[in-house]
Structure 1
Amino acid sequence: MTTTELDFAVAAYAEDGVWTVTPLVLRGEPDLSELVSALRRYPGESGVIGMISIDEDFFIVLRVIGGRARLLMSDVTAATEWPLAKQVLDELDIPLADDDEEQVPAGDLGIIADLGMSAMDLGALIDDVDLYPEEMLEEIADALGFGNQFHEAIEAIG
């Protein structure tokens, strides 16, 4: 996978209750350790959230709090095709899905529950097969209170 297949990658963090969303600049083929390192550079009262959309196929949400990274990927079957998705499954210690397996999320559905979107609501959103990854991430950003900043960051990338 190259950055041309990366729809976008942004970091979102709050300071004094004000959200900031900024594009992540990635060089070459993105990998999980590079993403986590990039996110660690940002401040944030409740950690920093990375939102990555790949080839309008799936998304990854990372949340780095202190030295710990929490992960959520929207589609476990993406790991059969995308190296970054395979790295996420490896980090989560989840075996590679069979080609005939259903598209289900992998990782921590409660990743942003303390910020305003419950695991149940996040799971229901991911189950909506009519939405593209970018639309799902937009809904997450809206629910967490940084929808406008998210839209501005995406437009700046595009």
Structure 2
Amino acid sequence: MAGPEAIDFAVAAYREEGVWQVAELTLDHVVDVDTLADALRRFPGDHGSVGLVAVDEDFFLIVHVVGQRARVLLSDITAATEWEIAASAVEFLGLPTPDDEDDEPEPAGELDLLDDLGVGAMDLGMLLDDPDYYPDELLSEVARRIGFGEAFDEVVGLTSA
């Protein structure tokens, strides 16, 4: 299983006094979902914080923390057979680990985890169904729809569209 060294980026986004802030997370924060959720709880967000993690241009993980509650969305459940952070997400969600023969990528978790931030389950589902998006591009689009797209792109080094 591959560990955090293959992570393309991990950021936390939170709104403080109505203004979105985006901060990089260290690899120590993304060893598993519980560690990531604990790191996100340290941010002073008005309505919790959101962790966005892209791994090896292959899949992404979104964790939305409000108080003690953590909600998770893994873009591709099949990643759990190769990646520690994905396996951690599947375990956190209480789902069985897919077989190595399962090669049909599909999301796992809560598509509605960003409803309160303006990105509904249907919108997120449509983005996930678009094969033209790489994980970083999809997360950039999610960040844009929530309201911190430019800050996100700047922190992760993407060029804003």
Q: How do residues 2-151 of structure 1 correspond to structure 2 at under 5 angstroms?
A: 2-27=3-28, 30-98=31-99, 99-151=101-153
Look up the SS of the partner of 2:27 in the other structure: coil
RMSD over equivalenced CA pairs, Å: 1.6
Query: Structure 2: any 5+ residue segments left out of the alignment?
Result: none
Judge conservation of contact 1:3–1:28 (CA < 8 Å) in 2.
Answer: no
TM superposition shift of 1:44: 0.9
State the one-letter code of the partner of 1:51: L
TM-score, normalising length from structure 1?
0.93
TM-score, normalising length from structure 2?
0.91
TM superposition shift of 1:28: 8.8
Residue identity (%): 49
| 1-structure distance, mates of 2:27, 2:105 | 27
CA pair 21-29 structure 1, distance change in 2 beyond 3 A: closer
| CA deviation string 1:79-100 (max 9, x = no partner) | 0111111111111111112323
Judge conservation of contact 1:2–1:29 (CA < 8 Å) in 2.
Answer: no
Judge conservation of contact 1:72–1:107 (CA < 8 Å) in 2.
Answer: yes
CA pair 84-10 structure 1, distance change in 2 beyond 3 A: same
Judge conservation of contact 1:2–1:28 (CA < 8 Å) in 2.
Answer: no
Look up the SS of the partner of 1:131 in the other structure: coil
Judge conservation of contact 1:79–1:85 (CA < 8 Å) in 2.
Answer: yes
| 1-structure distance, mates of 2:3, 2:120 | 32
